[in-house]
Structures are given as structure tokens and as C-alpha cells.
Structure 1
């Protein structure tokens, strides 16, 4: 019996799917906790067909009179998002943007001897919790959308590496407690209307690094995915 070799997805495949799913979150059609679980799958799978199944299930239009019986998920109840007071999130790197508080908190993420990666177009909630041990945490905010004027990352890092990349104008305030760790925070003066990133938690025997870099083609991606 012959078998077909597994197709490994590229970073571009993962980033494209992440950007498309982020658009669903911004439109209130996908809850953040489910989005976060999907991102764990998107960035950990080595099988491109897994990405294709996610795209088919979440991004393929199903007519209102044609239930998708092939989907393993039951029909979803009427969406309760966006919540009251929700405002469309805006890019972290957009100068002078007006940010509005959104009651969204990320599901706690844990990793042991693994990698947690967030990059491209993704929604940064008001509060995120990461617990990593012997792992690498990579958060790239340059093309991300901020859900709140203040985005808190509560990080517990043990023998791990933490790298956070922010665009110029996004101020990073470090409140983490460090024990036998190296901490390097490169931040800039806050731009008018730009969100603020606050780091809380603790690091033990870890490396914490915050880098400020210019966002690559942020405007074109915003135009492409959100039509402005």
C-alpha cells in the first residue's frame, strides 16, 4: 500500500492563515480563545493538509440554507461577539491611532521544552499569560492589532528565552522580576495614540529581550486584509 509524503507548510502558509483568522476575530466571527488554540496548531503542525482543513472549516463560505455536514464541529450558536463597546482593533504600528478598551483576555499559554510564536497579523488582547519552561517565546507586534490601549504580557519564564519585537512609538514598561536572568529592553518614547506594552511576571535563569524595529509594509497588509 503506497503512502504519500507529508507536505510541510512554509512560514508564509502559516502567516497567511493566521492573518485570515485574525480578520475573523476582528469581525467578531471567531472567539479569541478558539483563535489562540488554532494558532497553537498552525505553528506546531508539520502537515500542510492540517492548515488546509482549518482554512476549509473556518474560511470557506457556507450558504445559510446549506449546512456543512462534513464539518466535525456542530453548527455554531449566534455570535455574541463583538461585545458591547467593541471597537475595531487597529495596528500597533499606526501612528496617532485611537485605541478603545476591548474586554478580551487571551487564554493562558504554557510550554515545556517547546516554542511559542506569534507573528504577522494577530490580535493582541488586553491581557495575555505565558508560562514557559525550557522554551522560547517569540512575540512580534509590528503587524499586530492592539485590542486595548494597554496590552499586558504576564510571563513566567524558567530557563527560557523571551523575545518581543515592537514597532517604534510603542512604549514597553518592564515590571518583571528577574532572578539570575539577562534583561535587555530597547524601547522608544510613546507616540500619540499608540498602545503601551506592560511586562509582568518573573524570569529565572532566562533571557528577556525587547527589540524596537520598523514595521515591514504594515500599511499594505492593513489595506489588504481590512479594506481601509
Structure 2
């Protein structure tokens, strides 16, 4: 029996899931490709089947091998909020439609109730606040990518009980990121992949108020 025929564990599947998430953040995979490969990884029984989803991804390494190089950032000044700012990469794997951009300049923006969530959201904020409540939202896909370009602002993500959130792709400069929900590969109805630049701001992912009490009372 060769090494490719060895059985794999849930820990190995989750490790590959994290590598695929990193590939999305680096622009190597679209979200559609990510979902397809994640399904294959979760169904994989042998090491050969599991490794097949990574073979064409440069810089992605399995456990025990050297870590991939950090992504290179692209400096591209552009006018925004009345002055020029650098735009940092990596760039999105596909363009963001104008209707999928949320901007908050010295103001607060909220999305809650039965709002339609696109596959990709771009959030640009300057001294503002953005609150996205996904608990009753209408989803078009399981995996949602949120690209953040933040100055002195706050981003709050409220997700359902079974959702997962990945904040590992955020680049913080004098800022903070707090994840109070489950991370790792997508297992439930919603998985948020959040990446981008946060400058002297904050990102907070959490469940609705009272979720933990409900789980306790239900014996979970």
C-alpha cells in the first residue's frame, strides 16, 4: 500500500480546508472553485484524494512542509474620501459589482432582516461603522467573501448559530479583530471569509445576543 492510499482523518481534512481558504484570500481560487474543492476534501477517504485539491496551487504546502511566502501587496494610489490612499492586494479573484459595495464615510451603515447577500462584498469605511446581520438574510451561496478596506472604523458581523467565520486574512495596523464564533472550514449554512486592510479600526464576529443561553437551556 502506497502513501496515497492511506486513510485520512477529520483533522487532515480541516487542515486542507484552511489551505483552500488561504488560496481564496490570495486570489488563487474563485469562491465557486473553493466550494467544489471543499466538497471533494470533505468527502476524501485517502491521502491521494485529499491532496488532489491542492496540486495546482503554488505556495500551498501540507502540514510539516515549509510555509508559503507572504502575499505581495500592490501599491496603487486612488482617490477616496477626498484624498489619495494606497490600495493593498491581493486583489479580488473576480470583480465586485457596484451594488455589492458598502461605503461608510463618517456615518453608520446597517444591513439586517431579509436582505440579499451577494457572493462577494466590498466594505470601504472611513471613520464610520458597518453592521451586517446575517441571521435572517437571504443567501445566494454558502461561502461569502468580505473584502475590507477600513480606516478608523468598526465592522460588526452577526451570524447564525451554525455559521463559521474566518478572520485570518485580515491585515491589522493598529487595529483589532475578535472572533467569538466557530472558525475553520465551512460546515454549516454560512461561512464568511474576511480579508483586507484594517487601519486603527476593529472587526468583531459574533452570534446574536442570547445565543449561548439558548444553547445552554437546550442542553447543547
Q: TM-score, normalised by structure 1?
A: 0.46
Q: TM-score, normalised by structure 2?
A: 0.47
